[in-house]
Amino acid sequence: MAITLYGIPNCDTVKKARNWLDKENIDYQFHDFRKDGLESAQVEQWIKELGWETLVNKRSTSWKALDDNQRQNMDANTALAAILESPTLIKRPLLDNGKSRNVGFKAADYEHILKA
């Protein structure tokens, strides 16, 4: 099972997830979406699977930097464009285990997802 963890290296929650994966000896690839970029089709699939409301981090500085009109009128299409322009809008980390995608980090969730 190929596991990819998406995020940015300086995010505290991403660091916690990476530390947990390392401690549990789980092999994964880290994808820095600032440095490595994101594909439109990939983000579109995440939005379809998770919903833009789950994928977008409304507590992020990137969300707060959007103007009121963008925030109030956000939908799947505008979320796609906004994420491609500013990938840090994505709630971090995003874990892809090849079967499902999950956002955020809780050790119990990772335990269930990766060791079930």
Provide the phi-psi class of 66: left if phi over 0, else alpha when psi is between -120 and 50, else beta: beta
Active-site annotation holds for 104: no
Interacting residues of 36 by C-beta distance below 8 A, sequence separation 6+: none
Please identify which of the residues 3, 4, 8, 11 carries the catalytic annotation. 11
Distance separating alpha carbons of residues 30 and 3, to the nearest angstrom? 9
Catalytic residue annotation: 11
